[in-house]
Amino acid sequence: MPDTPLDLIRNFSIIAHIDHGKSTLADRLIQNTGAVTAREMKEQLLDNMELERERGITIKAQTVRLAYQAKDGKTYTLNLMDTPGHVDFAYEVSRSLAACEGSLLVVDASQGVEAQTLANVYQALDANHEIVPVLNKIDLPAAEPERVKQQIEDVIGLDASDAVEISAKTGLNIEGVLEAIVTRLPAPKGEPNATTKALLVDSWYDAYLGVVVLVRIKDGHLRKGQKVRMMSTGAVHTIEQVGVFAPKMIPVESLGPGEMGYVTAAIKTVADTNVGDTLTDDRNPASEPLPGFKPSIPVVWCGLYPVDADDFEKLRESLAKLRLNDSSFHYEAETSAALGFGYRCGFLGLLHLEIVQERLSREFDLDLIATAPSVVYKITKTNGETMDLHNPADMPDGSIIEEIQEPWIKATIMVPDDYLGAVLTLCNERRGQQVELTYVGSRAMAVYRLPLNEVVFDFYDRLKSVSRGYASFDYAMDGYEPGDLVKISILVNNEPVDALSFMAHRSQAERRGRSICEKLKELIPRQLFKIPIQAAIGGRVIARETISALSKDVTAKCYGGDITRKRKLLEKQKEGKKRMRQFGKVEIPQSAFIAALKMDA
Ligand SMILES: Nc1nc2c(ncn2[C@@H]2O[C@H](COP(=O)(O)OP(=O)(O)OP(=O)(O)O)[C@@H](O)[C@H]2O)c(=O)[nH]1
């Protein structure tokens, strides 16, 4: 099979703020090029995980190959790379962008530029992309294409005079988008006769094919039967199948320069494939790999424990299965005095954490207790040793700590003027440092540096509530800095409950400690004895509440003889017990953990 000529290939991605219509446009492009008939068309084809569809967010990068007959009479091969829109997946965005030459920038014409639009555009510019602005939702009465064009020019500095105006929903001017892809985005470059270099963009586990590797060929070819070498590890595999996504997987004989497709090669686990790696020919290897990617590093950690200790094995298996398809998810076994056997898990951010937790409970039917999310602190001890602290329970004694550093982020928040005051107050409460405050029309754009620790608990929720849902938020990691940080332990009936311990800045310690004690007081049922609840830094108690004693005979309610009712009641109580955890003499309901850990201090 001859290679597709380079000048007839366009590799592009769609970047957009969440909900601006990226998936709807992708579906239209697929439909209009006939890759899928309308009847076959499952809504939002690219978001193929059930959860993604339900939550309306895109997680894994996917690609689809389209054939488009352009007005110039030629038939082009268009490779559309889907990219996740959320900031937690910035890393997946960057590797997807590296596989393309151009981007469609989709902006909702009734909303305008949002925080994520900016973050994504900067990434696309970093990847040297040609960018075509597309104004979507012009069918809406509230659409203001002229205003939004001006905004794109003012805020992003892109020429938006010939932005393509469309409605992805009604299908208006999808042709205009296809023509813009062909005429305004550059063709890929590559050498068919050079030694093979292919970029490993993504990999996942397929029940029938095993590990499937998504590649973008830069130079040379990948063919069935070829021995390929992964340049980062030196591992050699024989290619079993090469193919394209159209959008179903279709085997082809070979993939040439500029093309995107997949290979399978009897690779055992996704962990053997490093995203960003270069595949080369084993007999005629390239001397230099393609410029690599930064590895994805988990920034938020929490402990996950089965509510029912018997589920531990199931949790282990479920995590292993999750990891098969999500190499940015990390986990290691840990034990907690209070919660028993579980795992410490690392995530790219809060949304990633939420998605994993939800998948575990939904797909694997697991009831879990999650400890408070923690960022990774860097600790220098007095003897000069350094350590990364993932779990507040592992914090060394204060007397041997020289310095603790915490991660900071640079956040961009866009919000209508009316809510700016409340947003600034929130940022200041969270130890934020203002970097910039500018206006984009009637919207303010505030750039703040914030400690990540202040964001992981409930920052999004608070931001949404103080701005009535109008603020948009994005962030990037911004280095480590020393801080006056302390570990706060929670003691219930004088027993430390390690799962509830957390790190905080000293200035916030008392307020947070008090808030969690107050919450626990509400949440832990009264028992036959008095229960002190305390928050402490080292041996010093900084907050205290007491649950008063109660004498209560639950069966007393069932007067006299009705033994069946009595038994029913006792059984019901036993049921309830399963959801309780024993701490010394005290039983804490699981709901108390969940609520306490969701603290809004
Ligand atoms: N009126 C109107 N609604 C649209 C248009 N395009 C998309 N929508 C709607 O906007 C919402 C968001 O569209 P999606 O395509 O899911 O947005 P997205 O950018 O892919 O969102 P994520 O996948 O979450 O990043 C959906 O309810 C669409 O039906 C349009 O042109 N006009």
- Would you state the pLDDT for residue 321? 81
**CA 509 – CA 520 distance, rounded (Å):** 16
Nearest by Cα to 167 from 140, 146, 149 = 140
Whether residue 116 has its Cβ less than 6 Å from ligand 1: no
Per residue, the 3-state secondary structure of 459-496, as one string, reads HHHHHHHHCCCCCEEEEEEEEEEECCEEEEEEEECCEE
- Would you state the pLDDT for residue 345? 93
- Would you state the pLDDT for residue 44? 45
Q: Is the pLDDT of residue 601 over 50?
A: no
Whether residue 139 has its Cβ less than 6 Å from ligand 1: yes
Whether residue 85 has its Cβ less than 6 Å from ligand 1: yes
Whether residue 112 has its Cβ less than 6 Å from ligand 1: no
CA 380 to chain centre: 30
| 378-413 as b/e: b if 16+ CB within 10 A | bbeeeeeeeeebbbbbebeeeeeeeebbbbbbbbbb
Nearest by Cα to 21 from 122, 176, 137 = 137
Whether residue 54 has its Cβ less than 6 Å from ligand 1: no
Angle at 377 between CA 374 and CA 383, to 5 degrees: 145
Q: Is the pLDDT of residue 279 over 90?
A: yes
| Tokens at 93, concatenated | 């965005």
Tokens 């849902």 sit on residue: 469
Confidence category of residue 130, pLDDT binned at 50, 70, 90: very high
Confidence category of residue 570, pLDDT binned at 50, 70, 90: low
CA 592 to ligand 1 center in whole angstroms = 38
Whether residue 57 has its Cβ less than 6 Å from ligand 1: yes
> Bigger pLDDT: 455 or 271?
455
Amino acid at 456: V
**CA 101 – CA 434 distance, rounded (Å):** 35
Whether residue 53 has its Cβ less than 6 Å from ligand 1: no
Whether residue 296 has its Cβ less than 6 Å from ligand 1: no
Rg from Cα positions in the chain: 27
**CA 428 – CA 420 distance, rounded (Å):** 12
CA 326 to ligand 1 center in whole angstroms = 26
Q: Are 112 and 441 in contact (CB under 8 A)?
A: yes
Nearest by Cα to 533 from 487, 577, 580, 488 = 488
* Strand ordering across the sheet containing 260-264: 236-238, 227-230, 278-281, 197-206, 210-219, 260-264, 241-245, 249-252
Angle at 187 between CA 184 and CA 189, to 5 degrees: 150
Residue to substitute in 13, 14, 18, 19 for testing ligand 1 pocket (most ligand atoms within 8 angstroms of CB): 19
Q: What is the dihedral of CA 504, 507, 512, 518, to 10 degrees?
A: 150
- Averaged pLDDT, 439-450: 86
**Which of the given ranges, 1-15, 94-108, 420-434, has the highest pLDDT on average?**
420-434
CA 124 to ligand 1 center in whole angstroms = 21
* Helices and strands of the chain, counted as H and E runs: 14, 34
**CA 436 – CA 441 distance, rounded (Å):** 16
Q: Which atom of ligand 1 is nearest to the CA of 24?
A: 15
Residue to substitute in 106, 138, 169 for testing ligand 1 pocket (most ligand atoms within 8 angstroms of CB): 169
Binding residues: 19-24, 136-139
- Averaged pLDDT, 117-125: 81
H/E stretch holding 584: none
Whether residue 169 has its Cβ less than 6 Å from ligand 1: yes
Nearest by Cα to 397 from 503, 491, 487 = 487
| Tokens at 83, concatenated | 């990219």
> Bigger pLDDT: 383 or 97?
383
Q: How many CA atoms lie within 13 A of 8 on its CB side?
A: 15
Q: Are 431 and 455 in contact (CB under 8 A)?
A: no
Q: What is the mean pLDDT of the chain?
A: 84
Nearest CA to ligand 1 atom 13: 21
Nearest CA to ligand 1 atom 28: 21
Q: Are 586 and 530 in contact (CB under 8 A)?
A: no
- Would you state the pLDDT for residue 404? 96
CA 491 to ligand 1 center in whole angstroms = 48
Nearest by Cα to 490 from 580, 398, 591, 592 = 592
Q: Is the pLDDT of residue 491 over 80?
A: yes
> Bigger pLDDT: 560 or 96?
96
- Would you state the pLDDT for residue 325? 67
CA 22 to ligand 1 center in whole angstroms = 6
**CA 67 – CA 77 distance, rounded (Å):** 5
- Would you state the pLDDT for residue 201? 86
Confidence category of residue 190, pLDDT binned at 50, 70, 90: very high
**CA 151 – CA 439 distance, rounded (Å):** 11
**Phi and psi at residue 135, to the nearest 5°:** -95, 115
CA 54 to ligand 1 center in whole angstroms = 13
Tokens 């007959």 sit on residue: 69
Q: Is the pLDDT of residue 167 over 50?
A: yes
Tokens 């090029």 sit on residue: 33
DSSP symbols for 486-523: EEEEEEETTEE-GGG-EEEEHHHHHHHHHHHHHHHHHH
Q: Is the pLDDT of residue 599 over 60?
A: no
Q: Is the pLDDT of residue 388 over 80?
A: yes
Nearest CA to ligand 1 atom 30: 137
- Averaged pLDDT, 273-281: 87
CA 195 to ligand 1 center in whole angstroms = 42
Q: Is the pLDDT of residue 218 over 90?
A: yes
Q: Are 370 and 481 in contact (CB under 8 A)?
A: no
Whether residue 172 has its Cβ less than 6 Å from ligand 1: no
Confidence category of residue 563, pLDDT binned at 50, 70, 90: low
Q: Are 140 and 110 in contact (CB under 8 A)?
A: yes
Q: Tens of pLDDT along 284-313?
A: 999 888 875 556 678 889 889 888 888 999
Binding residues for GTP: 19-24, 136-139
Whether residue 197 has its Cβ less than 6 Å from ligand 1: no
Whether residue 86 has its Cβ less than 6 Å from ligand 1: no
- Would you state the pLDDT for residue 558? 44
Whether residue 96 has its Cβ less than 6 Å from ligand 1: no
Residue 62: strand pairing partners: 82
Instruction: Count other Cβ atoms within 10 Å, centred on residue 7.
Output: 12
- Averaged pLDDT, 338-362: 83
Q: Where do runs of H (alpha helix) occur along 68-202? A: 90-98, 115-126, 145-151, 174-184
- Averaged pLDDT, 507-514: 90
- Would you state the pLDDT for residue 181? 97
Whether residue 168 has its Cβ less than 6 Å from ligand 1: yes
Q: How many CA atoms lie within 13 A of 500 on its CB side?
A: 30
> Bigger pLDDT: 462 or 163?
163
Q: Omega before 306 cis (within 30°)?
A: no
Q: Cβ-count burial of 528 within 10 angstroms (0-12 exposed, 13-18 middle, 19+ buried)?
A: exposed
The model scores a pTM over 0.80: no
Candidate from 327-336, 447-456, 488-497, 590-599 with smallest mean pLDDT = 590-599
Q: Is the pLDDT of residue 53 over 60?
A: no
Angle at 586 between CA 357 and CA 559, to 5 degrees: 105
The Cα-based distances of 155 to 107, 108, 121, 447 in angstroms read: 13, 15, 11, 14
Nearest by Cα to 279 from 248, 238, 328 = 238
- Averaged pLDDT, 505-513: 90
Nearest by Cα to 63 from 190, 192, 249 = 249
Q: Is the pLDDT of residue 141 over 70?
A: yes
